[in-house]
Structure 1
Amino acid sequence: MTENLTLRHYGAAESEGIIEQLIALYLEVHAGQGDFYGEDRYRRQLSAHRQRDGWALVTAWLNEELIGYVYGFPLAPDTRWWDGIEEPVPVGFTEEDGHRTFAISELLVRAASRRQGVARALHDDLVGSRHEERMTLLARPDNGPAQAAYRSWGWRTVTRLRPGWPEAPLFDVLTRDPGMKK
């Protein structure tokens, strides 16, 4: 499948025309996973994240059908990303300057296209384009396939965090050096 895969890059302005497709795929992938994964909350999240300086989106298309995407942004000095983090964490771990940490907020692939290298292609494309000192993402502790993939791609778990959204689950906080080759 990956030989027919097309990856496309977007900034916030360029992504305007595919917002509804992004939301539809998110809802499909997270169907039945609870209120936290609902449309209203995700629309607000996506809108807020797209306003962040440096927001970047990479999409995966197969025969002009959106089958996956990854997006993130550099953490600003006043970020709320770390709100809800479980202590202890290393001294200075949550200090940001707008250039230190790139946060991956979403990485998802349609069920029919999983285990075919799509998530890895999206991940590697976005990670390879970044110049921050480190990267971070949140992963559900009970998502075994995602956890295994992240570990194999060089991510390590540091602690846990519960975001400030109503109904938010507890997530593992993972970090990675973007220059790390796996």
Structure 2
Amino acid sequence: MIEGLRLRHHLADEAYGILDQLVDLYLEVYAGGGEFYSEDRYRRQLDLHMQRVGWELVTATVDRALVGYIYGFPLPAQTRWWEGIHQPVPPGFTDEDGRRTFALSELLVHPNWRRKGIAAALHDDLVGGRTEPRATLLVRPDNVAAQRAYRSWGWSSLTKLRPNWEAAPTFDVFVRSAHIVEPKGLHVGAAPSHPRPLPCQDDGS
């Protein structure tokens, strides 16, 4: 276990107080990644997503310093999340009602704190406690470490999607049935090597 590591849940009202910290960590993780990973775009993404009903953030801190976080929200009935999805997909796959699918939008860890199980702990803490029947996320095809980690956590790749956002890359769509992974606490010694963070749909779904 990492000494001093703490996971904490935040709803949107509280998370606004640490918004700059969230953005700063994102920019540090994605430094040099190109236009899609700009401060302006990510601030707009956060502002849109934090307005979603059920939005939830889990932060990881060590001695009060932010070292990682994960957030997501249930997809509403009129979501734009699935715009740009490659066909074919199973009939009804993109149907949403606000209770069917939890969208994991961001999971990232500071470069100095990788391969310590923090990403796995964040993932289990947020996703393992959800009540929706399924969850989804987007991950770049060239992000081999992330893909390997997500598969080890019970996710599978279904198709591809390019978000309706300027300079957005094409992502692999991953899905996961509920309750595959129960929360395990801070099992940092046994977790798989954590992935690079993943940008997910950010069009205000």
| The two structures share one fold, judged by TM-score above 0.5 | yes
In the alignment of these two chains, the number of paired residues is: 182
Q: Offset at 1:62?
A: 0.7
Q: For 1:31-110, what aligned pairs fall within 5 Å after superposition?
A: 31-110=31-110
In structure 2, stretches of 5+ residues that fail to align are 183-205
**TM-score, L = length of structure 2:** 0.87
Aligned to 1:135: 135
Identity of aligned residues (%): 62
3-state SS of 1:145 partner: helix
Aligned to 1:23: 23
In structure 1, stretches of 5+ residues that fail to align are none
Matches of 1:33 and 1:161, distance apart in 2: 19
Residue identity in the other structure for 2:18: I
Residue identity in the other structure for 2:147: Q
Aligned to 1:4: 4
Is the 2:128–2:180 Cα contact (8 Å) retained in structure 1? no
Choose between structure 1 and 2 for higher RCO, CA contacts under 8 A separated by at least 6 residues. 2
Is the 1:2–1:117 Cα contact (8 Å) retained in structure 2? no
Matches of 2:116 and 2:91, distance apart in 1: 39
Q: Offset at 1:2?
A: 2.9
Matches of 1:91 and 1:33, distance apart in 2: 35
Q: Offset at 1:3?
A: 4.1
Cα deviation per residue 1:84-119 (whole Å; 9 max; x = unaligned)? Answer: 000000110000000000000000000110110000
- Which stretch of the first structure deviates more once superposed, 172-181 or 97-106? 172-181
Residue identity in the other structure for 2:77: P
Which structure carries more helix by proportion? 1
Q: Over aligned residues, Cα RMSD in angstroms? A: 1.0
